[in-house]
Amino acid sequence: SEMGQGVHTAIPMLVAEEIDADWSKIKMMQAPADPAFNNPIFGMQATGGSTSVRGHWEPMRKAGATARAMLVAAAAAQWKADPADCRTEKGVVLHKSGKKLTYGQLAAAAAKQAVPTEVKLKSAKDFKILGTPAKRLDTPAKVNGKAKFGLDVRLPGMLTAVMARPPVPGGKLVSVDDSKAKAIPGVKQVVQIPGGVAVLAQGYWAAKQGRDALQIKWDDGANAALSSEGVSKMLAEGAAKGGAVGRNEGDAGAPVAKKVEAVYEAPFLAHACMEPMNATVWVKPDEIEVWAGTQSQGPSQGILGQVGGVAPGKVKVHTMYLGGGFGRRFAPDFTIDATLLSKISGKPVQLVYTREDDMKAYFYRPASVTRFVGGLDASGKAVSFSACIASPSIMEASGFMKLPADGVDEMAVEGIRDCPYDFPNLRVEYARREPGVQVWFWRSVGHSQNLFFIESFVDEMAAAAGKDPVEFRLGLLVKQPRYKGALELAAQKAGWGKPLPAGVHRGIAVAQSFGSYVAEVAEVSVGKDGKVKVHRVVAAVDCGMTVNPEIIKRQIESAIVYGLSAALHGKITFKDGKVEQSNFHDYPVLRIDEMPKVEVHIVASTEPPGGIGEPGLPPLAPAVVNAVFAATGKRVRKLPLDAAALKKA
């Protein structure tokens, strides 16, 4: 799925390199929903976890190399020549005698050649396309308006649906008076389904007016008193009590010369995709057609087949461009409800979430609290580290994963359990706590909050040891050359230790996620009113072998925008069971005047490719708050940043 991360260009580059294509003639087609197109890492057709290039790096290159071998074989057969005397270049097979045939001339004959079982892939030194800043294939259509997103779908006889959903998580419908809704011109039907009450109409505005006119009584159920204060208390108690052991080396509780303790907290976060959730579904007698910007075509076939009463293979999914995904469009809620509504109405239905519907839909990044205890010896050397993370379980909430036998949700502890620092004594625990809110994958998943936690706390340990934050980290990363390389490059390019303008201070953080290593330095000032301004972010990224350096840079920039939005502003809060935020006026995203200058430096590497859509996000928040400490002497242990707490007296 192309949701801005550039896979409609990166994956074709993998094939084009090995087939020796003329890049100027490449066109991309979206694959249909079919197990043949499964994500090699997931084992299902789905997009997420920064897996696209990592998963397709080898199979797509093999496909290109196989096709190239068949084209050469076809040309050699036509010339009655030895294939070893042929070579390929920009869509042409050339013989040493000077004869040549284009791939187009050879395609039909090549298709009849035996498919080789083994092919040799190119060495990186011979790459002509991979590693180059090729222009994105999806840009022209997005600029000229031809690109089709989910909301662009129009079908004959299509009805538009807008739904009323329970205002409290887990709430149930008691009764509905739809008389006023049905009186609105264009409203055709009011339908009750498990997800709520839908108004079906000719066009969005009539459907929305109809939905707003419904008079509904809800039973708020067990979460009627849900509050952010209560969630914080539940998670803090969990972190203090301890939980399932995820990693235990040495004795993290042994006496130390100096103990450092801190508790960190991160809130629920919405995904806030620019294109709100939507799906168009047409349930026919023997098949279902779906038009949606979805990250999960494969699971959709199985789920919607059950909902619509057809075999998974009879669910035809048209993947539209995604106006932002961030994990949210992996969820099935919008496609399930659209399928039910089409099945009941007998017509194609386009279900549209308003921004407010989307913001209050309960698919959130988990709130989390982590308690740290670090130990230093008399010389200031870090000798022990322990962490207890308390949060809901995404694995259990997903519906297709279960907690492992040890009771540790791997997504809740990632970024801390795999801590790279060489602490002789280390212990990580997970305390599962469920406030009653649906949680979901969010860009960089557990790393998004856990790297804020651990990289801020490691800075605290450095300060307690009286050491420079970079030197302190490097001393603990002797066995981690890729972490060390990214950290050193970011520090060097940012001019770590060199003077800055008055009032501007630096902070640093380093993280590994999804197979890539990213270090970031943030340059920050804090006004008298406590408002934080991020002036510059310098990033160093080691994502292994590169496909397209421009896409890498843009994804790091994108992750910094998304991460800074969360660090400065992002929070979903609850009062009396209800979400308090509804739109961008009370759930702000980064504005243009808040955008820092961003520099991205790529570490040269021969390692296999890592992911790139998510790894730029985790180091951003800790780099910023570590700079805030340098500026103010105050530690930020809870996000988003609170100007009142940083305000100068």
DSSP 322: P
Q: What is the mean pLDDT of residues 165-186?
A: 98
Q: Is the pLDDT reported for residue 194 higher than 90?
A: yes
Distance between CA atoms of 598 and 3, rounded to whole angstroms? 22
Q: Is the pLDDT reported for residue 532 higher than 90?
A: yes
% pLDDT > 90, the chain: 100
Residue 380 and residue 257 in contact, taking contact as beta carbons nearer than 8 Å: no
Residue 639: C-alpha distances to residues 13, 264, 266, 368, 404 (Å): 39, 9, 5, 11, 30
- pLDDT for 275: 97
Whole-prediction pTM: 0.97
Q: Euclidean distance between the first and final Cα of the chain, in Å?
A: 50
* Secondary structure (DSSP) of 557-609: HHHHHHHHHHHHT--B-EETTEE---STTTS----GGGPPEEEEEEPP--SPP
Q: Is the pLDDT reported for residue 121 higher than 80?
A: yes
Distance between CA atoms of 224 and 578, rounded to whole angstroms? 8
Q: Is the pLDDT reported for residue 413 higher than 70?
A: yes
pLDDT, tens digit (0-9, with 9 covering 90-100), for 147-156: 999 999 999 9
Distance between CA atoms of 245 and 247, rounded to whole angstroms? 6
- pLDDT for 648: 83
Q: Is the pLDDT reported for residue 6 higher than 70?
A: yes
% pLDDT > 70, the chain: 100
pLDDT, tens digit (0-9, with 9 covering 90-100), for 343-370: 999 999 999 999 999 999 999 999 999 9
pLDDT, tens digit (0-9, with 9 covering 90-100), for 246-297: 999 999 999 999 999 999 999 999 999 999 999 999 999 999 999 999 999 9
Q: Residues near 197 by Cβ (< 8 Å), separated by ≥ 6?
A: 163, 164, 173, 176, 178, 190, 191, 211, 214, 216
Distance between CA atoms of 176 and 284, rounded to whole angstroms? 29
Q: What is the mean pLDDT of residues 454-463?
A: 98
Whether the ω angle into residue 615 lies within 30 degrees of 0, i.e. cis, is no
Residue 224: C-alpha distances to residues 231, 270, 470 (Å): 13, 21, 47
pLDDT mean across residues, the chain: 97
pLDDT, tens digit (0-9, with 9 covering 90-100), for 508-530: 999 999 999 999 999 999 999 99
Q: Is the pLDDT reported for residue 25 higher than 70?
A: yes
pLDDT, tens digit (0-9, with 9 covering 90-100), for 403-412: 999 999 999 9
- pLDDT for 12: 98
Q: What is the mean pLDDT of residues 573-587?
A: 98
pLDDT, tens digit (0-9, with 9 covering 90-100), for 323-337: 999 999 999 999 999
- pLDDT for 333: 97
Q: Is the pLDDT reported for residue 649 higher than 80?
A: no
